[in-house]
A and B are shown apart, each in its own frame.
Chain A
Amino acid sequence: MSRICIERLDKRYKSRDGDVPALIDINLEIEDGEFVSIIGPSGCGKSTLLYILGGFIPADSGTMQIDGKPITGPGIDRGIVFQEYALFPWLTVAQNILYGLEMAGVPRRRREDIVGQLIRTVNLEGFENRFPRELSGGMKQRVAIARTLAYDPKILLLDEPFGALDSQTREAMQDELRRLWLAQRKTVLFVTHDVDEAVYLSERVVVMSNRPGHIVEEFKITVDRSGGREATVLSSAFITLRNQVWLSVRRQVGAPSL
C-alpha cells in the first residue's frame, strides 16, 4: 500500500525582491499503484512538487502523507529519477545499481542476483563494468531507472526522465517504463512537459498552471493500449484526449486561441 495524499500545499522561494510563490494550494491524491503524470508549462513548479515529495526541500504549509504518514525527509520508500540522471560518475554501471542495495544492507549474494536481473531488464548486458561517461544518454537513463528499481521502492518519482533523449530512444524508454509498471504496479508520479508522453503513459494527467503553480484540470486517461504503440497513438480515443490535454496546457501558457 502506498497512497500519496497532498493537501493545501504551499511553497515560496526566497529572492531578493521578497518571497516568490512557486506552488499554491496543491491538492492531489494518488491511489496505490496509480500512474499519474503532472504536466504544465516550464517553470510552473512541477519539479518543485516532486522534490518536496522526495523530501529534499520542505514545503511552507500544508500536509503531505504517504499511507497516512507525513513526509519528513528522503526515504527509500520513494525512488527518484532525475532528468540529468544523477548517476555516481565514479562508480561503474553495476556499482551504481548495487549502491542502494548496499546501503540497505542486502547480503552480497542476493545483491548480485538482483543486479544481474536488472541489467537484463534494462538491456545493459556487457556494460556492467563501464563508467557512466562511456554510455549514451539513453543508457545512462536506463542505469538510473535500474538503480532506483534495485531497492524496490513502493513509489517512483520521475522528473522528466526522458527529456534529454532523442525521440526514438524516448519512445523505447516509455514502452519499457509502461511494461515495468504493468508488471510491478508501483505508484508512479511522472513529471513531464510532453503531452503525448503524459497521455500515452498515465492513468491520469494533472495539468498545472503557469507560475505560481496550482492544479487547474485533471484528465482520466481511458485508452485501450492493448494493441501496441501504433494502434494506441492512432486511435481516436487517444487523439481526442491528447488534444484536450494539449489545449488545456496551451491555455496555461497563455497562447492566443486563434
Chain B
Amino acid sequence: MALSPELTFLPDEPRWRWLRGTFRLLPIAIFLLIWQVVVDLDLVDRSFLPSVSDTFAALWQLTRDGEIGLNLWVSMYRALGGLLIGSVLGVAIGLAMATSERANEFFGPLVATTYSLPKASLVPLFILWFGIGDTTDMLTVVLACLLPVIVSTYHGVKAVPPVILWSARAMGTPRHLVLWRILFPGALPSILTGVRIALGFCFVLTISAEMIAAKSGIGKLIFIYGENGAYVHMFGGLLAVILAAFVADRALLAVMSYLLRWDDAYHAASAHG
C-alpha cells in the first residue's frame, strides 16, 4: 500500500529490489541509532529512557523467562479474536445498511454518533458490567473494529458499478444471490482496507484495555513494569507489541494481495510497496 515512500530514484528492476527493501528500513535504523546515541552520550537519564540494546536485551530475557510468551499469546488472542468478531459483524451490518433502507435508517445514526467516541473510555463501564477479563477486553476491541469495517463495507457496496449489477441480473442472478456473488466480492477491496485499519485499532485497544482491566496480557505486563519503575522491561514489553503488530499487518497484507489478486486498483497501489 502507499504507506511507504515510493523510491522512484531507484530503477524498478529485480536486481535493485533488495536495495529498495533496505532503503525502506533506513528511517527505522536512523531512529534506533539516534535513540542509542542519545542514551549512550548520557543526554537523557538512562533510568527514564533505556537504550536500544538494553531494550532488546530485556525483551530477550523476558522471552527466555517465559514472561512474554504466555502474555503475548493472551493479548494476541484478544486482539485478533476481537478483530475477527468485529470484522464479521461489521461486514454483516455494512452489507445490511447498503442494501436495506430500513437497516440504514436503524444503524446509520448509531454509527454516526459512536464513530468518533474513543472506545477505551468504555472500559470502566464494561468492568462494571462484565468484571475484569476477556469479556471486557474483547468487547472493547470488537466495538473499535466494528466501525471502520461497517463504514468500508457500506461504501464498498455502494461503489459497485451499476453495469455490474445489471449484467448480474441479466444473467439471471436471483436476488438472494446478488449479495453473496456480486456485492460482497465487489466490495472486498474496500472491506479489506477497513479490516486493515481495524487491525491497527485492535492492538491499540487490547493494550489499553489490558492496562485497566486484565490479570494478564502484554498491556498488563507493561503497566506493572511501568508502575514498578522497571522501565527497561516496560520498553521490552512495548517492543514485543510493536513486533507482533508488525508481523500481523504483514500477514494481513499477504492475505490481501492473494484475495485481491484480481483487483487493478490494489495492484496499482501496491506496485511500489
Contact = CB atoms under 8 A, between A and B. Distances in A.
B166 interface: yes
Interface residues of A, number: 27
B156 to A, nearest CB: 12
B74 interface: no
A96 to B, nearest CB: 10
B263 interface: yes
Contacts of A54: 166, 170
Contacts of A100: 171-172
B161 to A, nearest CB: 7
A75 to B, nearest CB: 8
- Tell me the interface secondary structure of chain A in the complex: loop
Q: On chain B, which size bracket covers the interface?
A: 20 to 34
A51 B167 CA distance: 11
A49 B173 CA distance: 23
A49 to B, nearest CB: 15
Interface string B136-178: 0000000000000000000000000101101111111110010
Contacts of B263: 89-90, 133
Interface string B176-191: 0100001001101000
The SS class assigned to the B binding surface is helix
B261 interface: yes
A100 B174 CA distance: 11
Given A104-B172, A131-B261, A132-B262, A90 B186 contact: yes
B185 A79 contact: no
Interface in A50-69: 51, 54-56
A80 B170 contact: yes
B105 interface: no
Interface in A240-258: none
A66 to B, nearest CB: 14
Interface string A66-103: 00000001111011101010101111000000011001
A151 interface: yes
A136 to B, nearest CB: 13
A78 B170 contact: yes
B46 interface: no
A147 interface: yes
B185 A86 contact: no
Contacts of B17: none
A187 to B, nearest CB: 16
B164 A88 contact: yes
Contacts of A75: 170, 172
B262 A89 contact: yes
Given A76-B172, A100-B172, A86 B262 contact: no
B104 to A, nearest CB: 22
A79 B264 contact: no
B163 A82 contact: yes
B30 to A, nearest CB: 38
B250 interface: no
B261 A151 contact: no
B164 to A, nearest CB: 6
B215 interface: no
Given A132-B262, A133-B263, A133-B267, A90 B170 contact: no
Interface string A124-145: 0000000111000000000000
A253 B44 CA distance: 79
A55 B261 CA distance: 33
A23 to B, nearest CB: 18
A151 B167 contact: no
Interface string B256-269: 00000111100100
B164 A76 contact: no
Interface in B196-219: none
Contact of A82 (B167, B169, B172): B167
Given A90-B186, A100-B172, A80 B261 contact: no
